[in-house]
Structure 1
Amino acid sequence: MGFSAEWLALRDPADRAARDVALLQRAATAAGPAPLVVDLGCGTGATWHALAPLLPEDTRWRLVDNDPALLDIARAVVGEAAECIVADLGDLDALPLEGATLITASALLDLMPEAWLSGLAQRLEAPFYAALSYDGRMEWTRPDPRDDAVTAAFNLHQRSDKGLGPALGPDAVDRAEALFAAQGFSVFRAESPWRLGPDMAELQHELTRGIAVAACETGMADAESWQRDRHEAADRSSCIVGHADFLAVPPVRPRETAHV
């Protein structure tokens, strides 16, 4: 489970443009006046880039990833504000959440199984902001008769085991809403689709290549020819890839009253 630094750099402009600004601001407010942000699956620091300008200058960051090479890049980007920890993201007990006023993640929920997300919802006492989870929708400006079948095959692959059990894939945010609401959290959701035009042809190339590989692994015979045609048309086509952002805010606990 994980992404290469090259892929993260390529998708970064699409991610930045896609994040819902209002929900991002709400997450920053939920972090409180003296934030300690724990970023799960931090990669090269995308969440920091998006959220840090909205937080106080003295905000502390605890960056967590299972890839030391990505953590090194994130450390160089964030600087002295960052505490960097290598951890198994799938092991809830290993996640360093102590003292956090906001827990964040980007492009992570759709890779995780429901048992992990359910356990996280039961454990957390701080707000949780998870952005850019794939929601199963893809639309192309130059429709191809194979599009729907490829998308269905890709979505099937997204629900396969990524090393921790069957992943939530396109169901991630729906399940997050239900699981956190069941724990008493107030939940908020916003759409954050990628909008890739001809100016992002290189990203379209890598995206369709990855989609085709995944679809082939489910047994779809036409996926490779679909990818070749999409590759050739990338400099004159556009696509929308559905994502969603999610925020869960815990209930306010009444303070205990001291009695003499």
Structure 2
Amino acid sequence: MAGFSPEWLALREPADHAARNPQVLAAVGAYFADKPSLSVLDLGSGAGSNLRGSYAALPARQHWTLVDHDGALLARAREHLRAWADEAREQGEELVLAKGDKTITVDTRRVDLDKDLEWVLGWQPDLVTAAAFFDLASKTWIERFVAALAGPKLPLYAALTYDGRERWKPAHRADAQMLAAFKHHQHMDKGFGPAAGPEACEIMAEAFRKSGLAVSTGDSAWMLDGGSGPLRQALAEGIAEAVRETGQLEAAAIASWLAARRDAASVLVGHQDLWARPV
């Protein structure tokens, strides 16, 4: 699977947390409201942002297993969580955190989610989660994943799946070409076969419906304006680099677009949140 730098993940975390769809997250919390404790399996966890973005909606006692292919990111997750918590202590291999009125136990596992998907889901958590993950996976992998959840009727909360929308202001003559080339790059193999990219959320929702699970989705677009300069610039540079890799636009056109985007007033980047659960 393609990796992401700790710096990029840290830069995007405030935007991710602000963009989460509150109705979808509230529905997840309501589903588990009567449970005193909850076990959560977080796929592609990176540096632990998904835990920090959703813990407050969940029961008072939580056990999170953070799963990622990148051991360095899992180590970074433990560091960030220790700094983020009100209190933190080691308990064997687990990290025990106090945050507000929540007690959160964290375990980290380095796993190849292509090879070992069914084994990981066999741990039978109460909730499976992921953020900014499924657009990296292939249609085949997503359908395999949904089938593995549907059998034991495991619920899924998937946040911030990229949906292909991008609106920069002010407009630039190369916006449409850049977006088309970027979407082409999004469909390239990220470690799970040809990626579903912007179609991932709809593919996943349809697969869950066919499996008999209830599905809700909600908009979770980034709205990056004047206060988001470093993230906007890093986003533009990342898009430009991806487009260069496709070879679909001339270098001069990419450079012109990038120069304009470094001083953009705002950008909307579309994402969707999804909540799937047994009927």
TM-score, length basis structure 1: 0.91
Q: Partners in 2 of 1:204 and 1:198 — Cα distance?
A: 9
Give 1:40-51 correspondences, 5 Å limit.
40-51=43-54
Match of 1:114 among 118, 121, 139: 139
Find out whether 1:83 has 2:84 as its counterpart. no
RMSD of aligned C-alpha atoms?
1.4
In 1, are the aligned partners of 2:118 and 2:148 still within 8 Å (CA)? no
Give 1:12-161 correspondences, 5 Å limit.
12-31=13-32, 33=35, 34-76=37-79, 77=81, 79-80=95-96, 81-91=105-115, 92-124=117-149, 125-161=153-189
**What per-residue deviation string (whole Å, max 9, x for no partner) do you get for residues 9-53 of structure 1?**
000111011000110121223346131100001111111112111
Deviation at 1:140, TM superposition (A): 1.4
**What per-residue deviation string (whole Å, max 9, x for no partner) do you get for residues 194-219 of structure 1?**
00012111111110111011112222
**What per-residue deviation string (whole Å, max 9, x for no partner) do you get for residues 44-84 of structure 1?**
11111121112222111111111111111222306320111
Structure 2: 5+ residue stretches without partners = 83-94, 97-104
Name the count of aligned residue pairs: 248
Q: Partners in 2 of 1:88 and 1:242 — Cα distance?
A: 28
Q: Partners in 1 of 2:217 and 2:59 — Cα distance?
A: 24
Deviation at 1:93, TM superposition (A): 3.0
| Residue type of the alignment partner of 1:227 | L
| Residue type of the alignment partner of 2:78 | R
In 1, are the aligned partners of 2:172 and 2:260 still within 8 Å (CA)? no
Moved more, 115-124 or 27-36: 27-36
| Residue type of the alignment partner of 1:164 | F
Structure 1: 5+ residue stretches without partners = 252-260
Deviation at 1:192, TM superposition (A): 0.5
SS across alignment from 1:59: strand
Identity fraction in percent: 39
Higher percent of residues as strand = 2
| Residue type of the alignment partner of 1:7 | W
Find out whether 1:228 has 2:228 as its counterpart. no
